[in-house]
Structure 1
Amino acid sequence: MSSIEGKVIAITGASSGIGEAAARELARRGAHVVLGARRTDRLESLAAEISAAGGSARFRALDVTSRADTEAFIGFAVESFGQVDVIVNNAGSCPCRA
């Protein structure tokens, strides 16, 4: 298995739950993580925690229901780190809630 150290990983839904846990673990393993979600206050705190622990993280507001916003998020990742190696599509919206 190849190492994820140095890989650029964009994570949607990174402000809580699985996305947040994935961001912490991937950064701990040496990946550059780009965090996206609607709750930027939580993203800011998470990015600061990752950086304080020696990791590499950037964040940007993201609404995955908007194609333009999603494209801008990936553009931000490329601007920040020069490329994107992996996208973790963790966020989603379902209009079919009961």
Structure 2
Amino acid sequence: MSATTNTVYCYDRYDRVKSLALVLGVVTGLASGVLMMGSVQADVGSHVETLPRVVITGTSQAEHGVAQLPRVVIEGKRQDAADAQQLALANPTAAAR
């Protein structure tokens, strides 16, 4: 008697593309690392130049003073509920605002 197995082989049609993307990512990472190390080694020979110190003394003078706007006071009173309904019925465009 022979034993039969029901094995289903899965096929990923994007397997080659994924492998290529992985290889390109690793190669790009290594290349960028090598390029960055080269620039770090090139900067080792540079020197630091100290510039002379500059001291500024004095106070700033405001050319224009701060202008203050005039104070506006708005006064009003609440209308009774009956008056508000009458106004809404008399002028529907004003009530919609």
User: Which range, TM-score by smaller chain?
Assistant: under 0.3
TM-score (norm 2): 0.17
Highest relative contact order (Cα 8 Å, sep 6+), 1 or 2? 1
More strand by share: 1
Task: Tell which structure's C-alpha radius of gyration is larger.
Answer: 2
TM-score, normalised relative to structure 1: 0.17
